[in-house]
Amino acid sequence: MLLFFSYSLTYFQYLREVRNLSYLLSKALGKGVKEKLSLFLYVLAIPLAFVNPWISAAIFIIVALIWIVPDKRIENALTKSSRT
What pLDDT band is residue 12 in, cutting at 50, 70 and 90? confident
The span from the CA of 46 to the CA of 43, in Å, is: 6
Total domains, the chain: 1
State how far the Cα of 83 lies from the Cα of 64, in Å rounded to an integer.
34
Find, among 61, 31, 57, 33, the residue nearest to 46 by Cα.
57
Say what the pLDDT of residue 30 is: 67
Its pTM surpasses 0.85? no
CA 72 to chain centre: 14
Its domain, for residue 6, covers 2-83
